[in-house]
Amino acid sequence: MRYCVPSLLAWMALATLTGGIATALARELIDPTRPPDFIAPLRAHPKTGFELTAILIARDRRLAVINGVSLGVGGSLAGARILAIHPDTVRLRLPSGRLKRLTLYPLHMRTAQRPPR
């Protein structure tokens, strides 16, 4: 096969250039569905390793999402047992016996409302 050296070099340059542009554009892309006032969530506390991300309080149950796991009162995670779930905090008993309070810091706290009948 015979290749024309200038056209081969042109294709290589074009591939390199478009790959570089695509990489630069990918870094700048923003999720179009993200709210304009979005703030990235805080990561787990480095000392305790527990990240409280959600609390659900319903008539018949209370759940907390800690490190991505949904747990109720009495549930345990990494040796820590959930003692109580409140609207913005969760109390844990650590394996050492110490008590620990995890606090949820929502941007906009919402209360579930019943739909109109």
pLDDT at residue 26, as a whole number? 52
Each residue's pLDDT tens digit in the chain (117 positions)? 555 556 655 656 666 655 555 555 555 566 778 777 766 655 545 555 888 888 999 889 999 999 889 999 999 988 899 999 999 899 999 999 999 999 887 655 556 666 666
Residues 8 and 53 in one domain: no
Residues 59 and 4 in one domain: no
- The backbone region for 25, taken as left when phi is positive above 0, alpha when psi lies in -120 to 50, beta otherwise, is alpha
CA dist 8 and 100 (Å) reads 65
- Which CATH number does the domain housing residue 112 bear? 2.30.30.830
